[in-house]
Structure 1
Amino acid sequence: MLNKNKKGKSFIEMIPHPLALLFYIVIFAAILTYIIPAGSYEREVIDGASRTIPGTYESVAKSPVGFFDIFTAIPVGFKKIADIVFIVFAAAMMFGIMEKTHMLENTVGTFVKKLGLKKKFVIVGIMTYVYGVLGIFVGYENNIALVPIAVVISLAIGGDVVLGAGMAIGGISVGFGLAPFNPYTVGIGHKIAEMPLFSGYLFRSGLVFILLTILVFYNIRYFKKILKDQDHALGKNIDTTGLQLSKPIAEYNMRSKDIQMLLVFVAGLGVMLFGVFTKGWYINEISAVFLIVGIVNGIVARLSVNEISETFSKALEPSALAAILIGVAQAIQIVMNQGNISDTIAYNFVSILEQLPTLLAVVFMSITQSVINIFIPGGSGQALVTLPIMIPVGDMIGITRQSAILAFQIGDGLTNIVTPTLGGLMAMLGLCRVPYGRWLKYILPYTVIGFVICWAALILSVIIKWGPM
């Protein structure tokens, strides 16, 4: 049970609004630039990517971040991460058309009707696995547009927005974070370690399957709890306008217009996946696909140009906060880079690592990555900063390179499910209309369970001297 303060509020209930929380972290990062000594590693550019050179850390002149710099870091952060901000807008506009025309409502209503409300727990399980698979093979931000579907399904079967987030955000986060084929973490790690690309996938596949299966039962357990007593629902008093079904399940059928719009949507996803896997598409191209799907579906629904524009405009309103949160989250990394303390933090964590017994060191390695992930969110960026340092240290203390990469993957990936500085997470929560404090209250126990299982897997990997197989 969570600790209560004198007024009866739990610690999590005392967490401030996400915008305030992130701004506090920005201020804290700025204060750290006055306390932590400045330092940096030398970098080298390999295949267009800059990565740290082990053993080159040295102190540099302090460059503490001033009062005005804190505020300029926010627009700089927006500029640096503008592509993620826009994909949130593009996804919102695309789903705005689907909501206005009732296509999304009719599709979900018909889906639930065909499967049957008696199988609502099966639906939760299936959808959690589906989003997990999407996380593994499609990515993280790439799936932002699909998150609201889970919320609509959850509400249709008697759940709430938090259950929808558990299926979608939980599934995507676990799938992407522990994916055996993640190009941004495992791929870069294997490249730095000079190992066969995506080797060791069977061990990683087993771990991600276990974590997703536990998430399935965790989501179902919460669902049963709120069906029994709505007072336990964390989604209480959250506005679900436009997400709820407006009539009984038995009355739903798909119109020809709905089928045409669904085909356009599926075709858009097909084009997106083709581009991602064969053309190297990323966020900008995916945003373009979402915009095209939204416009084409507006035309299919016989909306006028003005109606499409007005729908786009209205759909942007709920996503504005998510966009702001993304920019402020990025400002944290901007402040730390300006103060030259990111490398100092990494250097000191590594220094501690070298003094620990091997089995404890591998666990501490993942904890280190989790802490660093708060300040340097984003798998590829963190990998290029920390892995060139962590891998040689692991060699010296008896941790195989495969285990070192797994420790990084666990620390970075599993933390993503709760990290408030991760723009993609805040964007998804915004689209689900789930406040960060309620999400943390829901998902934190699962995260603790996940870490315990992952640490056990890490220790096992060291004991068996897990190599490139």
Structure 2
Amino acid sequence: MDMTDKMASEASKPWYRNMPDPMVLIFMILVATYVLTFIVPAGEFARVVADGRTTVVPESFAYLTDTPALHFFDIFVAIPKGLISAAPYLFIVFIAGGLFHILQKTGALENAIGVAVNKVGVKNRNVIITVGTFIYGFFGVAVGFENNIALVPVAVLISAAVGYSSLVGTVMAVGGIGIGFALSPINPYTVGVAQGIAELPTFSGAWLRTLMVLTSLAALAYFICAKVTKMDFKEPEGVEGLKQDLSEYQLGGKDKATLGVFLAGLGIMLYGVFANGWYINEIAGLFLLMAIAIGMVNGLGANGIVKQMMEGASGVTAGALVIGVAASIQVILDQAQIIDTIVNALSSLIQDMPIAVSAIVASVVQGVINLFVPSGSGQAMVTMPILVPVADLVGMSRQLMITAFQVGDGLTNLIVPTSGGTLAMLALGRVSYEQWLKAILPFMVLVYALCWVALFIGQLVGY
């Protein structure tokens, strides 16, 4: 194929299949955000602290007049600042990369997956992918989003065991966790916080969210088996499939001890998350401890453990750096003080629409806001004090408004470049942001349509 034919072929592809390199894409968004600071005036809401929570005071928005304009050089200064602000995500990617490199070298995880897949039968590989999607979805529902970062490489190995690419495993894991977290009926970070602000019983209205999450996970499993498994995907360097035939895998004593340490570590992580409120830093520290313990079980000395950790960390460096560069977008927005202005303008869009339509538009508004306020609980704190009174004024139930917020905030985590958790998982799956968008965007159209239908039905039945 000559250059002209190649260019014509590229031009004929859908827009989402002609994405630039992730670093280029994110830098373009950073520059666009900088330009936005000269268009959008600075402003802020008044905030009060009640019961340890900082909440926005409705109808308190005011423009600011004494904020200096950002200099062009601030674009480049924002990048190291973003790397610093995203440090917890960077470190957990590096440490988890090292942990799974050691696990890969021991062969214990590969042996376990090989034995399990051999028993189930590789001919049932779509069943394995479907069950895996729902399992990862359950972890998203019950455990959270970033807390499941360590499970992504496991999905990649499962995918390799049944003859699929690491892209399939990554979509299964990240998509399942993301959908589960986004539509969870018991999400403490979004539903719990939002219902507290709206003065509703915690986790009330669970039936519609449960229906949404189960339907969406089923759609994701079908999409993976029907579409993602057939996508062209070049495996990155350093990603290896199974090294032998499935029938040759068996678990030895050292393998069982290694897996015991790994599973015990995951159990401790879950206890820490639920009982002690652990988050990124504590989980990263636990991963480091697990790596050391697994290295010792397998006879690695101190130097050997460090060597393997360094090799693993080097393999995920590119993905980790993307996280830091993406965080620079938030740095520019904070410096310019335009986030509240954007939130105020977007919130006003839904006040004069039919109720069912306004619920759908509210989810879109929340999705846009999520680009600027990537924290789910943080977004609830900023937007719910504004949108709950709006819901009351237009006759929408508070429960429906919270569900619209959950759809908009949660689903966009899977595609916005400011979601550090998503970028961290992609780094561990060795799938670039560009490759991820090519794979997941068609599904996002489907899942949004499903959720919008659910919101419309919710309004009709008085949810």
Report the AA paired with residue 360 of structure 2.
V
- Larger CA deviation: 254-263 vs 278-287: 278-287
- In the alignment, does 2:68 pair up with 1:63? yes
Matches of 1:160 and 1:254 in 2, distance apart?
24
What corresponds to 2:20 in structure 1?
Answer: 16
Alignment of 1:399-438 (within 5 A): 399-438=396-435
Q: CA deviation at 1:9?
A: 4.2
Contact 1:359 1:462 in 2 (8 A): yes
Unaligned 5+ segments in structure 1 are 227-232
Q: Secondary structure at the match of 1:44?
A: strand
Matches of 2:200 and 2:447 in 1, distance apart?
27
Contact 2:166 2:429 in 1 (8 A): yes
**CA RMSD, Structure 1 to Structure 2 (Å):** 1.6
Q: Secondary structure at the match of 2:54?
A: strand
Contact 1:346 1:386 in 2 (8 A): yes
- In the alignment, does 2:91 pair up with 1:94? no
What corresponds to 2:52 in structure 1?
Answer: 48
Unaligned 5+ segments in structure 2 are 1-7
Matches of 1:241 and 1:248 in 2, distance apart?
20
- Larger CA deviation: 59-68 vs 436-445: 59-68
Matches of 1:30 and 1:21 in 2, distance apart?
14
Matches of 1:170 and 1:367 in 2, distance apart?
20
What corresponds to 2:43 in structure 1?
Answer: 39
- Larger CA deviation: 54-63 vs 445-454: 54-63
What corresponds to 1:230 in structure 2?
Answer: none
Q: CA deviation at 1:320?
A: 1.3
TM-score by length of 2: 0.95
Change (3 A) 1:234 1:272: same
Contact 2:238 2:315 in 1 (8 A): no
Matches of 1:80 and 1:90 in 2, distance apart?
17
Q: CA deviation at 1:304?
A: 1.3
What corresponds to 1:363 in structure 2?
Answer: 360
- In the alignment, does 2:131 pair up with 1:131? no
Q: CA deviation at 1:422?
A: 0.8
TM-score by length of 1: 0.94
Structure 1 vs Structure 2: percent identity of aligned residues?
Answer: 42
Q: CA deviation at 1:465?
A: 2.2
Q: CA deviation at 1:242?
A: 4.4
Q: Secondary structure at the match of 2:37?
A: helix
Contact 2:152 2:170 in 1 (8 A): yes
Report the AA paired with residue 340 of structure 2.
D
What corresponds to 1:84 in structure 2?
Answer: 89
Change (3 A) 1:358 1:7: closer
- Larger CA deviation: 184-193 vs 353-362: 353-362
- In the alignment, does 2:291 pair up with 1:291? no
Write out the 4+ residue segments of structure 1 that deviate beyond 4 Å after TM superposition.
4-7
Matches of 1:162 and 1:98 in 2, distance apart?
20
Matches of 1:391 and 1:51 in 2, distance apart?
13
Q: Secondary structure at the match of 2:55?
A: strand
Matches of 1:83 and 1:65 in 2, distance apart?
27
Q: Secondary structure at the match of 2:242?
A: coil
Report the AA paired with residue 257 of structure 1.
K
1:84-132, Cα deviation, whole Å (9 max, x unpaired): 2211122111111101112222122112112111211111111101100
What corresponds to 2:333 in structure 1?
Answer: 336
Matches of 1:130 and 1:35 in 2, distance apart?
45
Change (3 A) 1:220 1:240: farther
Aligned pair partner of 2:304 in 304, 307, 310: 307
